[in-house]
Structure formats: structure tokens, C-alpha cells
Amino acid sequence: MEKTVTATQVQKETITHPTGDNRYKLLDRAIAKHHASGDSLIEVLHAAQGIFGFLDNDLLHYIANALKLPPSRVYGVVTFYHFFRLKPQGKHTFVLCTGTACYVKGANEIQKALESHCKCRFGETTPDNKVSLMTARCVGSCGLAPVAVLDDSVVGKMTIDEAIKRVSKWQQEQEEN
């Protein structure tokens, strides 16, 4: 005798990710909220990054499968937009605007000085995972050039000394904790 299963019973079953990582349950809710539609890829990627902190290959494949999209499309979107991260980020972020106004006002010199101070390039995280250095084409605060976004706070009229001072403070704070 064959047992019949209703849709309600199927929905009540607990489906877990093979790794057992409960964060996937949160991601599944975000995917369901958007009806597992490929049109919601960017929203789902934002949710995934918020949950996991960054988007690794396994996570991108999981999203591609859930949204029924080719992995190449998911990866293409992630690498096109600068706000998606493929690697873990530092505790703090220093985003330097490299738009025309900021470049003319010395952003390039700030970038070189910070790379030397932090011993890593922009687009990377310091070896101790304390600070991620990033650039943005324009943050929309051209009148304050050169501009940096420090942990989501816009700081205008940035100087080399101020940039190094802020990053050094972050590095010392974490050492004390």
C-alpha cells in the first residue's frame, strides 16, 4: 500500500544543508521570500552576504541551484558589483573614493601610503584580518574630496596622516581586545 504525502506535510519537514550550517535556513527563508525567482538574484546575494559575511564558491553554487540559474550568471553578477565580497573581510573597512574629484585631491597618494602602512593592497585584507582596504569609483561626496568611508561613516577632507591614524587606531583596538 502506497503512502500519500500532502504538500503541508512536505513543507513541515526540516530540510538541512549537508554541512548542518543553520545559516542556510536563514538563507532559505530569504530565497522563499523572493519566491526562488532568478529575478531576485541581487536581493538574495545581499541576504546571503549579510548572513555569511562573504560569498564563497559553495554558497554561490547553492544560490544558483536554488534560483535555477547557471553558476556563471551568479558569479558574473557577484564579480560585476563591487559591494559583493568573495573572501572574508576584516573587522573594519576603509573604502577610499577614487573618483575624479578625490583623485585630483590626492586619493592616489593616500592609497599608496595606506598600502605601505598596512602591508597589503587595496582590494585585500591585512594579514591579521583587522582591516579591509577597498576603493569605490565615487561615493557621492565630491565637495568633501578626498573622501573615505570608514566602517560605513563618510569622512571628508581625508589626509595621509588621518588615514594612517584611523587605521592604526583600529589595529590597536583589536590588539587590546
The confidence score (pLDDT) of residue 89 equals 87
Q: Structure pTM?
A: 0.63
Region of 54 on the Ramachandran plot (φ > 0 left; ψ -120 to 50 alpha; else beta): beta
The confidence score (pLDDT) of residue 173 equals 81
Q: Are 126 and 139 in contact (CB under 8 A)?
A: no
The confidence score (pLDDT) of residue 87 equals 86
The confidence score (pLDDT) of residue 174 equals 52
Smallest Cα–Cα separation from 90: which of 118, 65, 70?
A: 118
Query: What is the mean pLDDT, run by run of 10 residues, along the chain of 177 residues?
Result: 47 58 92 92 94 92 96 95 86 94 98 96 90 91 96 95 97 68
**Interatomic CA distance for residues 166 and 117, integer angstroms:** 12
**Interatomic CA distance for residues 33 and 80, integer angstroms:** 24
Smallest Cα–Cα separation from 136: which of 126, 123, 124?
A: 123
The confidence score (pLDDT) of residue 175 equals 56
**Interatomic CA distance for residues 163 and 158, integer angstroms:** 7
- Helix, strand, coil content of the chain in percent (nearest 5): 50, 10, 40
